[in-house]
Structure 1
Amino acid sequence: MSNIDTIVGLSGGVDSSVAAIRLLEQGERIAGLFMQNWEDDGSGECRAEDDRRDAVAVAAKLGIPIHFRNFAGEYWSGVFEHFLAEYARGRTPNPDILCNREIKFKHFLDAALDLGASRIATGHYARVRERNGRFELLRAVDDSKDQSYFLHQLGQTALSATVFPLGDLHKTQVRAMATQAGLVTADKKDSTGICFIGERDFRTFLAQYLPVREGEMRTPDGTRIGTHQGVFFYTLGQREGLHIGGVRGYAQAPWFVIGKDVPTNTLIVDQLLTTPYLDSHRTRTELAHWIAGKPPASAFRCQAQTRYRQQPDACAVTVRDDGTLDVRFDNPQRAVTPGQSLVLYDGEICLGGAVIESTDAQWPMQWPHAPQPEPLT
């Protein structure tokens, strides 16, 4: 394997397929590697075998060798157990971010180096740039597909050994290249949602691991309007799946989740699209990760995203002595959710980020268990 420069993570999708094409066009000596991160649980929703078949077909079409590794055990302990623990706390985690850090840019990278390659490539839409001996993570050219949000936990070691061949392409170009090459993945639908859940109902899946415990749905003033199967099935701002029919005395308008009182297993909902209970001006995070290895300063201004595909907004960041962050937004942010990630940018450069711990979103006075941050200093 010493004659291989780069190992491409072939997932069986169109993006990783075209990543391999681009490297071949550049004269790279490459091989593919298919990662299995989830064992078939008998539900029929695990698409690993279909994806494996497509990855093999792509490798054969391109004339490159392909290797296989099963990281299901590492995924369970490094990603899925954390996913369950966060939901049990009433928070909403993002397993894709942890998967990138713990599996794709750790175990996959180690496997590639063991095979004699010097670096890895994936089909992520992002870019890497080296400046003055340091590596920067940049947004992709295609803003609508940029995935730097999911990659913000990477560090210098991973970025120095990673290439993102699709970073300067638009999705339409990627599909056109796959079609021209005659790949079976050219028209394959992009995967969405959480990989190990697939197309099945989220609550049905989660109920296999967390106890279903019926609780009450109440309005901000405490009026009981229905029941639910457990607060951990819901996230802030959620509208779908509440199953609240016509309620006497209330308008025929959508309901939204505005709070989760975890100790009492109560879901707090409101009807107003402009409900003030979802707006935050500041947030406190857990320990921050910096791509450069350290923050730009102890206090600085930049832009932040609190969810994927959100437009970045200006903010002021204060790095606390324990490495956590206090972030004050210039404009109120909607449904900032504990457990999700706040990712910081300086223009096109991703600085890093952290998991959201709490916000200053208004909490109805009837609910005493509001998770409020300490005042900013």
Structure 2
Amino acid sequence: MSGGVDSSVAALLLQQAGEPIAGLFMQNWADDGSGDCRAEDDRRDAVAVCGRLGIPIHFRDFSGEYWSGVFEHFLAEYAAGRTPNPDVLCNREIKFRYFLDAARELGASHIATGHYARVAGDGGRFRLLRGRDRNKDQSYFLHQLGQEQLAATRFPLGELPKDQVRELARSAGLPTAAKKDSTGICFIGERDFREFLGRYLPAREGEMRTPEGHVVGRHPGVFYFTLGQREGLNIGGVRGFEPAPWYVVGKDVRQNVLYVAQGSDSPWLHSTTLQSETMHWIAGAPPAARFSCTAQTRYRQAEEPCDVIVREDATLEVRFQRPQRAVTPGQSVVLYDGDACLGGAVIATTNAPLELRMRTTAE
């Protein structure tokens, strides 16, 4: 029970199906004194929903585990100039590890969450499938789950569209029916991202350059930007350049340089091949040493046809059939066979022109 409408309706549906259930609220972020943490509001909403449903609710504090298992990695990735995805780690390390263990200690056989995804079992093997509502499908964030977790997990919302979920909540009189969906990184909430990150990673101002070497402005810290970003660059009219928007096309942490170029479809942003870190296979093993499938390199991206080579060290080389925009090291590449999620891995490198140049220079 997160205190949101999705987990509320997941509980409602299980109760209506006659399942014996209890709520479990977890706190993953300790109050840092900023007043921006919504944990108490979410806790109150979770208690109110369980009261409405007439089910018990339990509480667990995983903030220490979250710090060591998710947040320290988040900081290390930003310090290295990459863009991490903490939701993926949170699912693997917290929700489907510590949360699952806590549920079992309470006597539960399964856990259920409000994720928009599905689990299919066949002969003792389990597959992770996309949610029916493709606009809300969250299998991308769940790609690190394995057979043990899927065997013990239910996703009651997997077959439902979001608007029906809210209607079910309204009809049942749940106090979260109209609650706004949470967005962004959970522990940052509504606060300013730069201000928050600056508490942990002191940044240095530096030059913004074009890939050709022209200085067009200054940045407050390369950590604050990601590939393809337009907002926050604050580049005005630059002599010799068209009055067109600028986009981040590269980051050189060692030299403290942020590279920018004009045009959302700049060739500097495109790549056709990526190399991953160690791949996680939901089935426990790849379907073949070489195969074709579809992939996503970011959430809500249209799936893209690709060819996959599984290397001996369990990393991947993924070759796309058409150029991809802003494939970002630190994010995840997630593979699919139709609706079935095969698994995923962190993106290590790409063959984007500027990245290739910086890598060659560093070597």
TM-score by length of 2: 0.98
* Aligned position for 2:312: 321
Alignment partner of 1:38 is 2:41: no
CA distance in 1, matches of 2:219, 2:343: 36
Superposed CA offset, 1:278-334 (max 9, x none): 111010000000000001011111000000000001100000000000000011111
In structure 2, give the amino acid aligned to 1:183: L
Letter in 1 for 2:58: H
Residue identity in the other structure for 1:288 = M
For each residue in 1:125-174, what CA deviation from the matched residue of structure 2 results, as whole angstroms up to 9, or x when unmatched?
A: 00000012200000000000000000000000100000000000000000
Q: Give the alignment of 1:57-96 within 5 angstroms.
A: 57-96=48-87
Tell me whether 1:284 sits opposite 2:275 in the alignment.
yes
Contact 1:341 1:353 in 2 (8 A): yes
TM-score normalized with structure 1 length = 0.94
Any residues of structure 2 matched to 1:90-129 within 5 Å, and which?
90-129=81-120
1: CA distance, partners of 2:41 / 2:106:
25
**8 Å CA contact 1:358, 1:371 repeated in 2:** no
The CA deviation at 1:228 is 0.8
1:272 positional shift: 2.1
Contact 1:19 1:165 in 2 (8 A): yes
Judged with a 3 Å threshold, the aligned counterparts in structure 2 of structure 1 residues 222 and 31 are, in CA distance, closer, same or farther, namely same
Q: Secondary structure at the match of 1:354?
A: strand
User: Which whole-Å CA distance do the structure 2 matches of 1:303 and 1:131 have between them?
Assistant: 23
Alpha-carbon separation, structure 2, partners of 1:351 and 1:162: 17
What whole-Å deviation, never above 9, does each CA across 1:57-114 have from its counterpart, x for those lacking one?
Answer: 0000000000000000000000000000000000000000000000000000000000
Counterpart residue identity of residue 160, structure 2: L
Q: CA RMSD in A?
A: 1.4
Aligned match for 1:293, one of 263, 284, 304: 284
Distance 1:189 1:325 in 2: 38
* Preserved contact between residue 363 and residue 370 of structure 1 (Cα < 8 Å): no
State the distance in 2 between where 1:326 and 1:220 align: 26
Is 1:52 the counterpart of 2:43 in the alignment?
A: yes
Matched length? 363
Please give the secondary structure, in 2, of the residue aligned with 1:30.
coil
**Is the partner of 1:207 in helix, strand or coil?**
helix
Q: Which amino acid aligns with 1:180?
A: S
Structure 1 residue 245: deviation in Å? 1.3
In the other structure, the counterpart of 2:335 is: 344
Structure 2: distance between partners of 1:370 and 1:57: 57
Counterpart CA distance in 2 for 1:71 and 1:186 is 27
SS at match of 1:197: coil
Mapping for residues 225-374 of structure 1, pairs under 5 Å:
225-363=216-354, 368-369=358-359
Runs of 4+ in 1 over 3 A off after TM superposition: 367-373
Match of 2:171 among 169, 172, 180: 180
Q: 1:6 is matched with which residue?
A: none
1:210 match: 201
- Shift of the alpha carbon at 1:251? 1.6
Structure 1: how far apart are the matches of 2:323 and 2:123? 37
How far is the alpha carbon of 1:369 from its aligned partner? Answer: 4.0
Q: Note if contact 1:261-1:370 (Cα within 8 Å) is conserved in structure 2.
A: no
